[in-house]
Structure 1
């Protein structure tokens, strides 16, 4: 099968490409690094010629609600119009568990807009909502660090291995009966605790301070529901393998 991956050079996109190629699929990478600006529709229909499925794992350039919403709507519309014109049969978009339960967090509102724009414009739209990746603790540590202090929102999460997310995206893209799916890892954790454990493992002298999160997230909106698919290792097992480096 010929598959196009929008956002093909990022954390998830690069793994999607690798998994798809291991399964002998032909992959078209759509990213700035491969010569494509997804905010500009020119050339996308031609790039999607003979493509049967599009996987959209693009990330917004900012967490600001307005900027992120504009980005996601433009990308979804451009991809959707091009895919329709090229005769693509399936579009799989990666989203986040809980986006519809967090109206008090702008980036999640933008991701809802991403889902809606994909459903509106893209052929055969399927949404995969995943919980935070195992890499999230390390990302939050760095994003919120000021010298030897990092401030982390105090929220419950149920992280999942990013490779499991990538593998399921390929499954949904190649399946005849794919449907919207929620995905999570096997164990609930606290984000502040994960960051502290990561700092301890690394032997770094960093103080981890808990800060208030948006009420919806503090109340558990980032956790999966009872119908979510559970895959992959626990965070503790994943970090013990050295993958966190």
Structure 2
């Protein structure tokens, strides 16, 4: 099966391409560095020729609200039009758990717009909603840092290893279209402030984590369950401390 992975050279995309190839699929990594640009449409017709499935795990280079909306709307429109011309039978997109619960957040609002375009395209589709990746935890801490203080809300938090995100997306890609969404998350659920307090200690990071119910998460204040999945989500097996230890070892 030919599967084109948009964003195939990135964190999740590179893992996904490798896993699909291990299982005998013709997985093609599509990104600006490989001559495919979804914002301009360059290279799309060529790379999609003969493809049965397209998986979009690309991300906006900017999280500024107008820029991220422009990225997801423009790239998704171009990609869906090229898929229709190539008669692609399954469009898979990676999205975020909780988008509908925090629509005032610019990034989440852009992902909602992306999903709306996919659902109305007429192309059979599957949406994979994931919680935050372990690989982004340090970036979240940095984004909420004020001097030597990290301000985090006491909301629920259930991050997942990028390796298991790629596995889940791969399973969906080779299956029948869901024409709906599925959720994935890590095996452990925490209070976000407690998680980061323990994480910084494990990193040997001297910053102090302060519990702040009004702390913003990339511009918005999340609710109690904004960042965690509903019942029935597929859960990974890798625990954060195990992942951190393995990452340090490698």
TM-score if structure 2 supplies the norm length? 0.88
Aligned to 2:76: 76
Aligned to 1:46: 46
SS at match of 1:82: helix
Contact 2:5 2:28 in 1 (8 A): yes
Which deviations, in whole Å up to 9, do the C-alpha atoms of 1:24-52 show, x marking residues without a partner? 21122111221222101133112100111
Take 2:186 and 2:47, find their aligned partners in 1: how far apart are those partners? 35
User: 1:1-245 maps to which residues of 2 (within 5 A)?
Assistant: 1-121=1-121, 123-145=123-145, 148-176=148-176, 178=178, 179-211=180-212, 212-213=214-215, 217-242=222-247
Cα offset, 1:11, TM superposition: 1.2
SS at match of 2:55: strand
Cα offset, 1:108, TM superposition: 0.8
Contact 1:15 1:166 in 2 (8 A): yes
* Unaligned 5+ runs, structure 2: none
Take 2:109 and 2:149, find their aligned partners in 1: how far apart are those partners? 29
Contact 1:80 1:118 in 2 (8 A): yes
Stretch of structure 1 that moved more, 8-17 or 196-205: 196-205
Cα offset, 1:204, TM superposition: 2.8
Contact 1:154 1:213 in 2 (8 A): no
Take 2:211 and 2:14, find their aligned partners in 1: how far apart are those partners? 32
Residues 33, 147 of structure 1: CA spacing in aligned structure 2 closer, same or farther, 3 A cutoff? farther
Take 2:204 and 2:26, find their aligned partners in 1: how far apart are those partners? 43
Which deviations, in whole Å up to 9, do the C-alpha atoms of 1:121-143 show, x marking residues without a partner? 36211101011112232221234
* Unaligned 5+ runs, structure 1: none
TM-score if structure 1 supplies the norm length? 0.90
Contact 1:192 1:208 in 2 (8 A): yes
